[in-house]
Structure 1
Amino acid sequence: MPRLYVPARLESGAELTLPEGSARHLTRVLRLGPGAPLVLFDGEGAEAGARLVEAARKQTRVRVEAVWPGRFESPLAVHLGQAISKGDRMDYAIQKAVELGVAAITPLYTPRGDVRLKGEREAKKLAHWQAVAASACEQCGRATLPPVHPPQRLGDWLEARDEPLRLMLHPATGSALAAAEAPATAALLIGPEGGLSAEDVAAAEAARFAPLTLGPRILRTETAPVAALALLQYCFGDL
């Protein structure tokens, strides 16, 4: 059954006009017509059963039949600070992080990172990344859409962190994840393709980030959050 993100309040009996992208997917790709069932979610934790009532060229409308709370949020809320990478690598990191239950993502500018976004280009990229997160929620069953925050400098992101568990991936000095009391929130820092610099590591340690290694092999910047989030969810979450 199709599952779609609709940024609107879900109320039983209400009729909603679907966004253009979702409407096109239902009517042109899946070729569904009036009466077809589907599931909606609002990104704020609510899901709804609905049916298509109109599938016209100009608009596609659905009627909400029942609303219920989403069920698949992790007990561990991880804020991922991910150094921005080129091409579709950032898309992959965001997609998989959402599937693994991340609570929020902040793209980071780091000294060794070679991606710099400004003005309209940054705004377009941010909207694209949020759409990637929404698509991942549609696939994995989450009803809460993790925010992808505007890109920040690494230092600014570090200064704002107050999670009780703060980790950075850094194989040169890292240690294995030690058993600890399960936290409710955590922050995870992933560096760029060239790795975190000595200055980055010092700044993170000053912000009470502990270095973490995932073994002897060096992971790509888009692979590292997948492995680290899986480990955190296994130790403290719901894997």
Structure 2
Amino acid sequence: MRISRIYHPDTLHSDQELELTPDACNHVANVLRAKVGQPVVLFNGDGNEYSGEFIDVSKRKVLVQIDAKLSMNLESPLPIHLGQGVSRGDRMDLVFQKSVELGVTEITPLITERCGVKLDEQRWQKKHAQWQKIIIAACEQCGRNVLPTLHMPTDFQNWINQSTQALRLTLHPRADKSFRHINIGNHGVRLLIGPEGGFSDQELYQTEQGGYQTVQLGPRTLRTETAAITAISALQAIYGDL
């Protein structure tokens, strides 16, 4: 039987009885259909996981008894901060889910010239909350005990101007080098990927002025969500833990 992993935002410790959040309660009771006595693992992002069992399961309340704290480090040795151009539909959801599974450390949604999503501040806040839930679910599924940092959507120029010691990379189908031909260094990677229509010429010029190197993923032009997943996979395979 597969043991369920549940995120809980509060402090956790051994020999603790606690009530799950409403979202987690709904998932446990109505989706997992868990029963009293079944084992469960909780995590809160502190790098540990906490084993226990369900001691009360109803549609309105789920109680867990924690019995042990376990140190489980599944984080990649390669820090990757993904700057992803915001795209329409469920493309962003897929990027968030798969990049978390592949070990990305931070994610910043970027508002670019060709961004097809126009929202006011309140709706961006709702989007951010939705994406945060996707990140939590991905961590529950893949076994990570540390939540990647999800930054608020930011303007492309703000991202370029941010100070960093990480290696700065921009995906471009006509770049003259691949991931095998770069020197990662000791400070991780800041990976920049455009939306569906790619970056404008002006934005590409700005990345060059900001110290970003262009790299390619082969001769084919990939969709934005495919590019993100492939790029992170390649970086992890060559320099990380795949």
* TM-score, length-scaled by structure 2: 0.94
Relative distance call for 1:6 and 1:174 in structure 2 (3 A) is farther
Q: 2:183 aligns with which of 146, 169, 180?
A: 180
Match of 2:50 among 43, 48, 51: 48
Distance in 2 separating the partners of 1:108 and 1:61: 39
Write out per-residue CA displacement over residues 138-171 of structure 1, whole angstroms, 9 at most, x where no aligned residue: 1111000112110000110111141331111011
Give, as a single letter, the amino acid of the residue that structure 2 aligns with 1:19.
T
Cα contact 2:25–2:60 (8 A) shared by 1: no
The 8 Å contact of residues 25 and 59 in structure 2, kept in 1 or not, is answered as no
Q: Which moved more, 1:44-53 or 1:73-82?
A: 44-53
Give the 5 Å matches for 1:141-152.
141-152=143-154
60 and 149 in structure 1: CA distance in 2 versus 1, 3 angstrom threshold: same
1:127 is aligned to 129
CA–CA distance in structure 2, aligned partners of residues 174 and 91 of structure 1:
30
Structure 2 counterpart of 1:212: 215
**Residue 17, structure 1, aligned to residue 19, structure 2:** yes
2:224 partner SS: coil
For each residue in 1:28-74, what CA deviation from the matched residue of structure 2 results, as whole angstroms up to 9, or x when unmatched?
22222221101111123121101111113331111111112232100
Q: CA separation in 2, counterparts of 1:163 and 1:63?
A: 43
Q: Structure 1 residue 198 and structure 2 residue 201: aligned?
A: yes
The answer to whether residue 161 in structure 2 is matched with residue 137 in structure 1 is: no
Task: Please name the residue that 1:73 is paired with.
Answer: 75
Q: Distance in 2 between matches of 1:202 and 1:45?
A: 39
Distance in 2 of aligned mates of 1:35 and 1:111: 53
Contact 1:130 1:147 in 2 (8 A): no
Identity %: 42
Could you list the per-position Cα deviations for residues 179-210 of structure 1 after superposition, in whole angstroms to 9, with x for gaps in the alignment? 53553421000001111111111111111110
Q: Secondary structure at the match of 1:128?
A: helix
Long gaps (5+) in structure 2: none
1:58 equivalent in structure 2: 60
Unaligned runs of 5+ in 1: none
Are the aligned partners of 1:94 and 1:132 in contact in 2 as well (CA < 8 Å)? yes
CA apart distance, 1:174? 4.4
Aligned to 2:234: 231
Question: Alignment partner of 1:203: what SS?
Answer: helix
Could you tell me which of 155, 160, 163 is aligned with 2:162?
160
The answer to whether the 8 A contact 1:70-1:144 is kept is no
Taking structure 1 as the reference length, what is the TM-score of the superposition? Answer: 0.96
Greater Cα shift, 150-159 or 160-169: 160-169
Identify which of 99, 111, 117 aligns with 2:113.
111
